[in-house]
Amino acid sequence: MSIDGDSGDIADAAASFLEEHDNGDRALKTVLAADVDHETWTFDDVDLDSGTFGELVSRGIVTKVDGAYQVADPAVVESVLTGEELGKPTDDNDLTADLDRFWNDADLRALAALFGALLTVAIARMTAYQSVFQNGYVISPGNDPYYFRYWMENLLEQSSGPADYGVLVEPQHGVAIRRPLAHATNWFIAELLGGGQGAADTVAAWLPIVASVVLGLVVYKLTVLLTRDVRVGVASVLAFAVTPIHAVYTGLGFIDHQLHQYFWLGITLLTLTWLAVDLQRRLEHGVDPHASVRNHLRTPLTWIVALGFGLSVAAGIHSWGGSPLLLMPLAGYVAFRVAMDARADISPALANLPLLIGLAVGSWLSLALHHRWGWHAEFVATTPMLVLGGAIAVVVLGELWRRVNVHLSGLFTLEGLVAAGGLYVFKRLQPDVWAEAMARVDDLFFREGITETLSLFSTEYAVFFGPMYQLGMGFYVALLVLVWVIWRVYRQYEPGWLLVGTYSGYLLLLAGIQVRFAGQLAIPLAVLTGLGLVQLLSVVELARTPVPFLVSEVSASGSRDSRPVTADGGQSLEPSITLPNGRAIGYLLGVGLLVFGLSLIYVPGLTADVTHSEAQVEAMGAIDDHAETANRTYPENYVLSEWGDNRMYNHFVNGESQGYGYAQRNYGEFRSSSDPDSWYDQFDGRVGYVVVTAVDEDAPAEGTQVQLLEQYSAGGNGTDGTAHYQALSVDDEAAAFAVVPGATLEGTGEPGETVSISTAVSVDGESFTYERKKEVGDDGRFAVTVAYPGAYSVGDDRLEVSEEDVTKGLILNLESKGEDA
């Protein structure tokens, strides 16, 4: 088509036409549709009255060509309708012109705000910097990260470089069974960084930060797609940045499966949102819904995004053990989406075809990785295929339902029956796989003794404060917006908001069962919080009304100006982000502190709860030095401690941080016993070191907790010194001990007499007297075992005990050295 007139004049004419006519948008869409169908057309081809049509011609929006008509500049007119600024044409071969266009079109304020928000994501996850980088070590917070560090280093030892993917084929049980992709990703990135311990430490420390920043960018793009408002996008990233539980699980050094599952969940939401919003925008701007759907399917980017969605499904499935749980909201979304399509008289099959193709690709990849590489359990790898089968059945039902005039409640009933029937058939056909799945569900939901298994609404935090503690005050802002989302999708065709609402509702339910799922909930919740925050600012006249609420107001009022608005929340070329002046800055900070203030307190507080103290690191270092000097190897250098810290100690001392079962079974009983020496025989060959840490509750004076942590195994308060625990590091928070055979001192004395032997000991600058007492036997002899080297004396008898005597368990006579025990 030819283009007449200046583009700027045509844009002004179209904008003024929209301002002055109630149905101006319909008139412009009508002539644009005619332009799509015909090279040129006549007045009879458009459904417009002569007055309106004549005005379009007089304004230069429609021009006459060879006795017929065409739109003067369709691209300009469509850009006015959509509220998006049309880029200026340039020579594609002119690099200078391309750069000029980039800088002219770039919204530098929005870019700066986004950069600041992403920087906040990183900073909020680095509050434990000094606790992570201690004494030359990378000390990951918590316990579980050391499981992932164990397998990363194990794979690095087996492989010869990043191309040696053979280590991932039929991998060892611990890698394959639940989180294969998480381990594979950690290993691959470490190999790209050169392999070795330095690369492994770098990945352990910084991968969570990098993944979180990228996920923050995903949250921004997801939000802007939904809202067409960059202010909401930036606000959502800020909400995401300071969500306490998410900041903890993806903090510096916290290399766990969470960072992988969160990232792939974000990609799933982003790709599904793009597919939903792209179709919705085409329906809004088009005249023929069926043509809009076809155009959506003809766009190559649609299929690229669909493949990205499929990849995210397969990657998410193989990233962690409970991955099938995150396919349940996808199944729910398909069920609701089909009903929404049928209600809008849109073909569910065509509208959801990219989703189905992407899900098919993801199902194939998931099964291929299971059968060819041995990844994950069969029931997990099969889950995407089950969801795909159910989705196809639901889409077929939706197609049939669209052709009959029956209430949608019947369709929902049939969809529920399809889901129940599919599960029943699967249980009957695959009873072993079903039993394995049920065992995994039981393991996920009914484990006890772990903090993250509490409910988000636990009475321990008075119900109301639990969400604030884990998710921040923004949680309650997001709940209000979630109500608006439900109302919006009930009334209008909003597949994008349906997606966010479905995932938010489902993850909120899971978090209500176990707080561990609040980390996943934080992702869609950030979108809702960001929208709620900008709306709150608009209510107090500190910001323009965000686009979604502006569109809702327009739709509800039936205003003539119902065209889509620009990404800045307005309908003019105002900057997307404007800087407040004077007193408004104070009000803005006040609202920000109201929403985010508690999070700024809880993020460092929660993070500190899972970090390891300086005293614990000192204890670990002392044990490591002693084990190297004494030439102890695993299991002789195994460290027994509180199970929540056990992997950390063993990771650095012996490299065996795969599990903590022994500590979980035995440490509690050991700590509460009144005779730690009675455990020596059980420890022989299995435990080489013990770390005792402070506890909140009062410990009995005669218990192991007090004997070791407070008395340093030296005795006191009516208790004797221990025979087999030599202090290596002492502190009020943590004390480390080597389990030693001890040197046995023999001597003579009066029968029935109590012999006391002692020596001065200094550990970590702390000096104390180590004392042991023994009653002389009827034969006039006694034997007492000591755990420390030093000068011992009984009466006139003196004896120097060496470290070798203690570690080798030698028998010594107070008058002269003896022989090996």
- Please give the Cα distance from 428 to 483 (Å, whole number): 39
Is residue 627 within 8 Å of 748, Cβ to Cβ?
A: no
> Which range is least confidently modeled, 39-43, 524-528, 643-647?
39-43
Residue 716, both tokens: 């006191």
| pTM value surpassing 0.85 | no
Check: CB of residue 697 under 8 Å from CB of residue 690: no
Q: Is the peptide bond before 635 cis (omega within 30 degrees of 0)?
A: yes
Local confidence band at 105 (pLDDT 50, 70, 90 cut-offs)? low
759 DSSP assignment: E
Residues 68, 69, 72, 78, CA torsion sign: negative
Give the residue-averaged pLDDT of 804-810: 91
pLDDT at residue 674, as a whole number: 87
DSSP 419-481: HHHHHHHHHHH-HHHHHHHHHHHHHHHS--S-GGGS-TT-GGGTTTHHHHHHH-THHHHHHHH
Question: For 354-395, what is each residue's pLDDT tens digit?
Answer: 999 999 999 999 999 998 888 888 888 989 998 999 899 889
How many Cβ atoms sit within 10 Å of the Cβ of residue 210?
Answer: 15
User: What are the angstrom distances between the C-alpha of 541 and each of 232, 426, 544, 649?
Assistant: 16, 56, 7, 55
What is the rounded average pLDDT of the residues 334-358?
93
Average predicted confidence (pLDDT) for the chain: 84
> Residue 157 has what pLDDT?
92
Q: What is the arrangement of strands in the sheet containing 734-739, beginning at the earlier edge strand? A: 639-640, 689-693, 734-739, 725-729
φ/ψ of 813, rounded to 5, equals -100, 140
The Cβ of residue 79 has, within 10 Å, a number of other Cβ atoms equal to 17
Is residue 412 very low, low, confident or very high in pLDDT (cuts 50, 70, 90)?
Answer: low
Residue 91 has pLDDT above 70, yes or no: no
Distance CA(685)–CA(669), nearest Å, equals 19
Q: What is the mean pLDDT of residues 741-753?
A: 88
Residue 403: pLDDT band with limits 50, 70, 90? confident
- Tens of pLDDT, residues 176-187: 667 899 999 999
Q: What is the pLDDT of residue 146?
A: 96
pLDDT digit string, tens, across residues 448-464: 555 666 778 777 766 77
Are 208 and 259 in contact by the 8 Å Cβ rule? The answer is yes
pLDDT in tens, 617-637: 999 999 999 999 999 999 999
Confidence band, pLDDT 50/70/90 cuts, at residue 153? very high
Domains of the chain: 7-86 (1.10.10), 108-255+463-486+524-611 (no CATH), 258-446 (no CATH), 612-738 (3.40.50), 741-821 (2.60.40.3390)
Cβ distance 478 to 529 under 8 Å? yes
- Is pLDDT above 80 for 81? no
695 burial type by CB count under 10 A (0-12 exposed, 13-18 middle, 19+ buried): exposed
Check residue 201 and give its pLDDT: 96
User: pLDDT at residue 494 above 60?
Assistant: yes
The pLDDT score that the predictor gives to residue 554 is 46
List of residues 6+ apart from 78 with CB closer than 8 A? 32, 285
Task: Give the separation between CA 637 and CA 653, rounded to whole angstroms.
Answer: 7
pLDDT at 39 over 80: no
What is the band of 806 on the pLDDT scale with cuts at 50, 70, 90?
very high
* Main-chain dihedrals φ then ψ at residue 759, nearest 5 degrees: -155, 155
3-state secondary structure of 21: coil
Q: How confident is the model at residue 427 (pLDDT cuts 50, 70, 90)?
A: low
* Highest-confidence segment of 469-473, 538-542, 588-592, 809-813: 809-813
- Please give the average per-residue pLDDT across 787-804, as a whole number: 86
Which pLDDT score, from 0 to 100, does residue 818 have? 42
The DSSP result for 142-155, as a single string, is SSTHHHHHHHHHHH
B/e letters for 175-201, b = 16+ CB within 10 Å, e = fewer, are bbebbbbbbbbbbbbbbebebeeebbb
pLDDT at 720: 82
Maximum distance among all Cα pairs of the chain, rounded to whole angstroms: 132
Q: What is d(CA 705, CA 695) in angstroms, rounded to the nearest whole number? A: 9
* Confidence at residue 796, expressed as pLDDT on a 0 to 100 scale: 73
Q: Produce one character per residue of 511-535: b if its CB has 16 or more CB atoms within 10 Å, e if not.
A: bbebbbbbbbbbbbbbbbbbbbbbb
State pLDDT tens for residues 264-302. 999 999 999 999 999 998 888 766 788 889 989 999 999
Where does 318-406 have alpha helices with state H? 328-343, 348-351, 353-373, 378-402
- Residue 42 reports pLDDT greater than 90: no
Angle separating helix axes 495-513 and 474-491, nearest 10 degrees: 140
Q: For residue range 667-723, list pLDDT tens digits in order.
A: 989 998 988 999 998 998 899 999 999 876 766 767 888 888 888 888 876 678 899
Cβ 621 vs Cβ 728: under 8 Å:
no
Please, which residues bridge with residue 744 across strands?
785, 811
Beta strands at 639-640 and 689-693: parallel, antiparallel or unpaired? parallel
pLDDT of 174? 59
Tokens representing residue 719 in the block: 């208790």
Task: Name, in order, each residue with C-beta under 8 angstroms of 353's C-beta and a sequence gap of 6 or more.
Answer: 297
Give the C-alpha separation, 775 to 288, whole Å.
101
- The pLDDT of 720-740, averaged and rounded, is 92
Question: Does residue 568 have a pLDDT over 60?
Answer: no
3-state secondary structure of 639: strand
Q: Report the DSSP pairing between strands 810-813 and 743-748.
A: parallel
- Cα 108 to its chain centre, rounded Å, is 29
pLDDT of amino acid 721: 87
Unique residue bearing structure tokens 């007193």: 583
The more confidently predicted of residues 357 and 27 is: 357
40 band by pLDDT with thresholds 50, 70 and 90:
confident
